[in-house]
Structure 1
Amino acid sequence: MPGDEEASPEAQGAAGARWVRPATVIDRVFDMLQARGLVITAYWLTLCSAEPLQEDHVRRALLHLFRKVPPLRTCLRRRDDCLWVCEMEEEAIDFQVVEGADPERVMEDLMNRGYASHDGPLWRARLVRGAAGEDCPLEEVRASLPHTSHLVLGNHHGIADGTSNARTCNLLLRILNDVIAGRPIDNQEQLGEFVSGEEFRAMVSARLRELEEDPENLQRLVEERIGVMTSVPLLLQCYPSLEGTEMKTEVLFEELDEDTTRRFFQRCKKEGVSVGSAFTALINGAMIDLAKKAGRTDDTFTLNESHALDVRRFLSGDASKHLGSHITTFPHAVEAPAAWQESFWDYARTLHHSLHKTLQDPTLEECLYEVMAGEEGIEAMLATVPPPSEDCMSSNLRNLDPLLPDALAGEHVQVARVARGSSNFSSFNCHFVHTFRGRFFYMQCFSSHIISKDTAEAFTRAIFDNLPALL
């Protein structure tokens, strides 16, 4: 597999599968979680095409994708007492055409279903045609590409993160346009290298050694983290957790038009606040509004956030072509006033500066997990699903246009919108944001076995009802 050292002859599987490398901690954790339907990612692409998409064209494009993206060819198998990343011995894709379904429900289905890790593939694709209310939101695209369909992709989070998935989606659109046009495709050319992430693990180990030089400070940090992990989120204090329902993540989707997106971004720039920080402040404000409606009269609230972080930015050399899951999370909390609308931009600036200060130590969360896990290890620590402790989790991929140039410019098929999400684990709701084609996209993934859909919908409405007044 490109990017890995060649396995020795004795490491070759008897049936022809190639043993690539022992699974890393993150490989094992994601595999353990996905087997229970947790932390499984899904992407929903609205496609606009010159002619109705043919099943055979999409299937052939997916097969070429399998051949050109190393992580898509992998499975996970036990060898003695060790889990290994293997390359599948046979080409296989999990692809179906679904007629007349709601793409959001198809997305939910993919993000709540685990994978047969031993056999693979560790990803799925569904072409959805004839969905009710099917539309292309962009007139300039609809004029030349009038036919709309949807492609929903799901994957084991251990083989890809948001950056990998975006680059894979872009390659798929390039291939699909080539297939429709009848152009040759070079399957030897690979999208990138499936890198294990050992460099970041080495950074974590080095930082942990530094922390261990001051045991009192390390113990203080651990106790603070345990305090957060054992806290009850504000919304669950106000709206008791549901009981007796099937464990499931559901989704709610919103998008802003180009004018509102532009005005929001311009106001953020004027106020000296990143878009991600401003939207996090808006999420927190909506949460406070729901708490106040439930009767809370606190003057201030401290909300525990968790943010996904791409660690490629901290690695040596050019890590832009590193495929796989190269993410960590970092916690954050800053006091918010109950009357947050009256001083929103002051609050957003405070949050922004606090967030970016926290980012200066990207390995801290991993270090604390290792200390708390002790000799039993992180897998044992996460063996049971803990009650939610974070008020929210967020994932911000910022502007996707640079990662999806072929999805923007294909002559036969283009992508009009992108939505993405993941099933939950430690949080009962996760907020996914990015921009694409000048529009701001948002998806809330909420645990419907913990909070009701009415509460989740009220949360989303509060976010977007408050936004216009801030512009």
Structure 2
Amino acid sequence: MEEEAVDFQVEEEADPRRVMEDLMSQSFASHDGPLWRARLVRGAAGEDCPLEEVRASFPHTSHLILGNHHGIADGTSNVRTYNLLLKILNDVIAGRPIDDQEQLGEFVSGEEFRAMVSARLIELEEDPENLQRLVKEHKTVMASVPLLLQCYPSLEGTEMKTEVLFEELDEDTTRRFFQRCKKEGVSVGSAFTALINGATIDLAKKAGRTDDTFTLNESHALDLRRLLSGDASKHLGSHITILHHAVEAPAAWRESFWDYTRTLHRSLHSKLSEDGILRDKCIKEVSVCTNNVGKATPTFPPPFEDSVCSNMRNLDAICPDVAGEHVQATRILRGASLYTAHFSHTFRRRFLYSFCYSAHFIPRDTAKALTRAIFDNLRSLV
């Protein structure tokens, strides 16, 4: 930008969730910038601070809503940036000098990963018959209609707007959930995905579906930094890919939940290898190239996934400076503008969750019922 522009506003007596929804429904001036914006929502003393030991020493609560174009940052970049912001705020308040020349991160393009994908594609092209089979399977998935949309069709004329719901577990329930997952030999991410699928199946059954089994299409957001050479911990930018996954689930999933979750866990984690990630990306690229890409439309394509999941696990690992002496972060929630997306992570010993959905596709009552079912089932299982 030739001239720096800052889109920052302070709002009094606003609902932070509504402010977040408003930011997710606004476009960015892609050519002119800025590609980020921020809103500070002032809160009352002690309001919405879940940690009693923090609330006693830090009685004033505010909410900072940070929004950016996904093309310039992913979840890891955003959380790392937030940690750096808190560190700087504490240093400024404490009167410590700030070195404006210090580089706190490095903006890195995705060239290395693209080279890895190109190399893997060359290998796949050595067996064109198998590659075409994989592409055909991918196109079949892309033509799928999500189960919830089959049962609860979108209403014409409904605003295309992202809405969000929040849930969180207290420390004790978080600990018991994690311990139970470990005991059953599955990851927390696999168990939570199984809970999302189970709640979706229950809503379908409530709408009258009588299938014995359901195959739900999942898309999982993955951090690519683990595949890059050298130390990629300071890499800023958008370094994610989306991995597709599906496994058959029984209609009576609750009676065999942990068996079903182990099946899902083994299937998903077998695809999480470097080769699985690269192959999935190659198939998507070839599928796009063989489609009629010249037929651009002014609207988004209809969704095919039953869920998009972004599990960043423990944010404390990349947020070491949130418990400062003057400013502390007690909760971090994430979101994005998508048809339906589930964001989860732990922060300060609590499991936090955001459900973002398009009001055009999912009525708010249905979204609330889905979220309530996920957490009711979780608590009953641990």
Normalised to the residue count of structure 2, the TM-score between the two structures is 0.96
Give CA-to-partner distance per residue, 1:347-394, whole Å, 9 cap, x none. Answer: 111100100111121122321222122288979778741111110100
Give CA-to-partner distance per residue, 1:18-46, whole Å, 9 cap, x none. Answer: xxxxxxxxxxxxxxxxxxxxxxxxxxxxx
- Does 384-393 or 253-262 show the bigger shift? 384-393
Select which of 268, 278, 286 maps to 2:199.
286
C-alpha distance 280-375 of structure 1, shift in aligned 2 (>3 A)? closer
How far residue 468 of structure 1 moved from its aligned partner, in angstroms, is 1.6
Select which of 209, 218, 224 maps to 1:305.
218
Residue 247 of structure 2 corresponds to 334
1:321 aligns with 2:321: no
Select which of 268, 283, 302 maps to 1:387.
302
How far residue 132 of structure 1 moved from its aligned partner, in angstroms, is 11
How far residue 130 of structure 1 moved from its aligned partner, in angstroms, is 3.3
Contact 1:101-1:131 at 8 Å conserved across structures: no
Residue 418 of structure 1 corresponds to 332
Give CA-to-partner distance per residue, 1:133-182, whole Å, 9 cap, x none. Answer: 93200001111111111100000111110111110000000111122222
Q: How far apart, CA to CA, are the structure 2 residues paired with 1:378 and 1:136?
A: 49
How far residue 240 of structure 1 moved from its aligned partner, in angstroms, is 1.0
**AA matched with 2:375:** F
C-alpha distance 144-380 of structure 1, shift in aligned 2 (>3 A)? farther
Q: How far apart, CA to CA, are the structure 2 residues paired with 1:227 and 1:178?
A: 54
What SS is found at the alignment partner of 1:241? Answer: coil
Q: How far apart, CA to CA, are the structure 1 residues paired with 2:329 and 2:152?
A: 38
C-alpha distance 381-341 of structure 1, shift in aligned 2 (>3 A)? farther
Residue 90 of structure 2 corresponds to 177
Residue 403 of structure 1 corresponds to 318
C-alpha distance 343-133 of structure 1, shift in aligned 2 (>3 A)? farther
Q: How far apart, CA to CA, are the structure 2 residues paired with 1:130 and 1:193?
A: 34
Q: How far apart, CA to CA, are the structure 1 residues paired with 2:193 and 2:318?
A: 23
Q: How far apart, CA to CA, are the structure 2 residues paired with 1:436 and 1:382?
A: 40
What SS is found at the alignment partner of 1:406? Answer: coil
Residue 121 of structure 1 corresponds to 34
**Identity of counterpart residues, as a percentage?**
77
Residue 52 of structure 1 corresponds to none
**AA matched with 1:135:** D
Residue 430 of structure 1 corresponds to 341
**AA matched with 2:319:** L
Q: How far apart, CA to CA, are the structure 2 residues paired with 1:149 and 1:294?
A: 41
Residue 366 of structure 2 corresponds to 455
- Does 164-173 or 379-388 show the bigger shift? 379-388
Residue 353 of structure 2 corresponds to 442
What SS is found at the alignment partner of 1:302? Answer: strand
Normalised to the residue count of structure 1, the TM-score between the two structures is 0.78
**AA matched with 1:277:** S
1:233 aligns with 2:146: yes
1:209 aligns with 2:89: no
Contact 1:137-1:416 at 8 Å conserved across structures: yes
Residue 256 of structure 2 corresponds to 343
Select which of 58, 61, 66 maps to 1:148.
61
What SS is found at the alignment partner of 2:159? Answer: coil
1:275 aligns with 2:192: no
**AA matched with 2:187:** S
Query: Unaligned regions of 5+ residues in structure 2, if any?
Result: none
**AA matched with 1:422:** A
Contact 1:373-1:381 at 8 Å conserved across structures: no
**AA matched with 1:299:** D
Query: Unaligned regions of 5+ residues in structure 1, if any?
Result: 1-87
Residue 248 of structure 1 corresponds to 161
Q: How far apart, CA to CA, are the structure 2 residues paired with 1:138 and 1:439?
A: 10
For 1:6-21, list aligned pairs within 5 A. none
**AA matched with 1:385:** F
How far residue 191 of structure 1 moved from its aligned partner, in angstroms, is 1.6
Select which of 364, 371, 380 maps to 2:286.
371
Residue 17 of structure 2 corresponds to 104
**AA matched with 1:394:** C
Contact 2:46-2:55 at 8 Å conserved across structures: no
Q: How far apart, CA to CA, are the structure 2 residues paired with 1:356 and 1:156?
A: 30
C-alpha distance 465-162 of structure 1, shift in aligned 2 (>3 A)? same
Residue 263 of structure 1 corresponds to 176
Contact 1:300-1:338 at 8 Å conserved across structures: yes
How far residue 404 of structure 1 moved from its aligned partner, in angstroms, is 0.9
Q: How far apart, CA to CA, are the structure 2 residues paired with 1:331 and 1:404?
A: 29
Q: How far apart, CA to CA, are the structure 2 residues paired with 1:227 and 1:165?
A: 34
Q: How far apart, CA to CA, are the structure 2 residues paired with 1:132 and 1:143?
A: 10
What SS is found at the alignment partner of 2:249? Answer: strand
